[in-house]
Chain A
Amino acid sequence: MERDTRPAVVVGAGPAGLCAAIELKRAGAPVLLMDENAKPGGQLFKQIHKFFGSQEHRAGVRGIEIGKDLLRESLDLGIDVRLDTEVVGLDPNLKVWAVEGRRRSYTLDASRVILATGATENAVPFPGWTLPGVMTAGCAQTLINVHRVLPGKRILMVGSGNVGVIVAYQLIQAGAEVAAVIEAAPALGGYGVHTAKVRRAGVPMLVRTTIVRAEGNEGVERAVISEVDGKFKPLAGTERTLDVDTICLAVGLTPSIELASLAGCRTFFVPELGGHMPLHDEFMRSSVPAVYVVGDIAGVEEASTAMEEGRLAGIHAAFSMGYLDSGEMERRTADTRRRLRALRQGVFGAKRFTAKERILAEKEKECP
C-alpha cells in the first residue's frame, strides 16, 4: 500500500491529542500537533490528584506527572508541536485553517484529522451569577494549581461530581475555606475517595440543595441556598445564607464540537456524556471517514480514557495512511481496547460503557 505523505493533523495537545500524535509518530507517519495554548498538556497540569484505574493505567500517579511523561515522550520522538496555533476552520476535504500567534493565518491539506478539542464547562444561571466571584470550578483550579493564585477566601462549591469535590479539596490545599459543597440530586456524585477527603476536612456536603441567588455589590458577598423537592424546585422556608466571596460552578461539561460540525461530522445526543457529540466507531472514526474524534469531544469521561482513545485513533490513522500493516494495527489496538474496557467498569464506568456502546451502534446504523 502506498504511503500517504500528507500530514495527519491532531488538534488539541491534551492527553488525547498527545497520545494520538505519539502513536502516529511511533508508526513513522507524518504528524502535526496543534494547540491554541502557549503550553501543551491541556488540563493535565491542573490535575494534582492521583488517578484511578489499575497499575497499567498509572493509577496512583498524579495527572501532572503523567503530563510531564507524555511531553517528554513527544519531545523524544521529535513531534512537530505547533503551539499558540488555533485551528479556526476545517472543511470536509480536510483543508485545515490555522492562525498562529493571533497574527499569521495559513491553510494546509491534511491526510487525516484527529480532533482532540476537549470540552467546555457548563454554566448555570441564577440571580447574581454575573457578579465578580462567580466562576467555573475549572477556572479556580487553573488559578490555584497552575498560576498559584487563590481566587477567594471562602468558597461555595455548586455540584458534587468529581470536578466539584476534587476542586473543593484542592482549594483547601491552596489555603481557602470551603463553606459547603451543594448538590441538587439526592445523592453525591463524585468517587467516594475524593468525596471522603472533603468530608474529612469538615466541609458540609448538602444534597437536595440548590443555589437560589448570589448577593453583593461589586462582588459576591453572600450565597443564598435552598433545599429542593423531587423536581428540583426550591422548597419554601428552607433558604439559608452563606457568607462566601466565591461561588464555583461544577455542573458538568459539554463536548467542544465546533470543528467537527464544520467538517460535517454527524452528531448524536448522549446526555450522560455531556450532550451533543460526533458519532464514532470503535477506532474513533467519525461519520467523515478521515476525521477522528478522541477524548472529551467524543463524550466527556476522564484523562485516562482520553489517552487510550487518542492511541486508538493514532494507531488506526497510521494504518490507514499506510504506515502500519493490518496485523500490527490489530495487535496495537487490541492492547488499547483491553485497557479502555477495563477503565469502563464499576458503577461509574459501566454507565459510560453503555453510553459509548449506544454511540457505536448509532454510527453503525447511520453510516455503516
Chain B
Amino acid sequence: MKPGPELPAVNRVTRHAVLGDLEPLREVTIWFEDRAVKAREGEPILSALIASGVGILRYTKNGSPRRMFCGIGRCTDCVMSVDGVPGVRTCVTAVRDGMRVERQEGVGRWAGEDGRDGA
C-alpha cells in the first residue's frame, strides 16, 4: 500500500498563558494506518492522534465509532491495534518510532490470525 501524505498536527496548544510556549521535544514518527504522524517523544499514542485531527480510533462490532472517554487508562474506549496487538489502551501507551497503529473492529484481531502478518 502506498503511504498517504503525512497528517499534520493541527490541534497542538503551542502557546499558553500559564504553561508558556510548548517546549520542543524530540520527534518520533508513528503510522496511523497508511499516514505518517509526527509525535512528541514520550507522549501517549492517543494525544499524537488527536493532535493530528484523527476523529475515530476504533469501531465496535456493530460499526459504531469510538474515540476516547476517560483518557487515563480506565475505560478502554481508546483501544487500538498497535504493532499487531489489538486492544491496546492508546491513552497510557507511549509512542515509539515506527510504531504502527490501526483501528480495530470489535475486539480486533491478533497479527497473523487472518493469514496476514498484521502490518
Residues of A within 8 A of B (CB): 36-38, 48, 62, 120-121, 123, 130-136, 138-140, 142-145, 147-151, 173-175, 218-219
In the complex, which residues 49-63 of chain B have their Cβ closer than 8 Å to any Cβ of chain A?
50-51, 55-57
Contact of B72 among A131, A138, A149, A175 (CB under 8 A): A138
- Bound CA span A2–B71, Å: 45
Structural contact, A132 and B56, CB atoms closer than 8 A: yes
- Bound CA span A123–B92, Å: 20
Structural contact, B47 and A143, CB atoms closer than 8 A: yes
Nearest-neighbour CB distance to chain A for B41, whole angstroms, equals 12
Residues on A with beta carbons closer than 8 Å to the beta carbon of B11: 149-151
Structural contact, B67 and A219, CB atoms closer than 8 A: yes
Residues on A with beta carbons closer than 8 Å to the beta carbon of B73: 36-37
Say yes or no: is B1 at the interface (Cβ < 8 Å to chain A): no
Q: Is the interface of B mostly helix, strand, loop or mixed?
A: loop
Number of A-B contacts (CB under 8 A): 86
Structural contact, B55 and A37, CB atoms closer than 8 A: no
- Bound CA span A194–B71, Å: 24
Which B residue's beta carbon lies closest to that of A121? B70
Which A residue's beta carbon lies closest to that of B22? A148
Residues on B with beta carbons closer than 8 Å to the beta carbon of A36: 73, 92
User: Could you list some 22 contacts between A and B, CB below 8 A?
Assistant: A37-B73, A123-B69, A130-B64, A132-B56, A132-B65, A132-B66, A133-B67, A136-B71, A138-B70, A139-B68, A139-B72, A140-B71, A142-B71, A142-B72, A143-B71, A148-B16, A148-B47, A149-B13, A149-B47, A150-B13, A219-B56, A219-B65
- Bound CA span A134–B77, Å: 11
Residues on A with beta carbons closer than 8 Å to the beta carbon of B44: 147
Nearest-neighbour CB distance to chain B for A84, whole angstroms, equals 10
Residues on A with beta carbons closer than 8 Å to the beta carbon of B94: 38
- Bound CA span A123–B65, Å: 18
Query: With A147-B43, A149-B12 in contact, is A62–B18 under 8 Å at CB?
Result: yes
Residues on A with beta carbons closer than 8 Å to the beta carbon of B14: 148
Residues on A with beta carbons closer than 8 Å to the beta carbon of B19: 48, 145, 148
- Bound CA span A131–B69, Å: 10
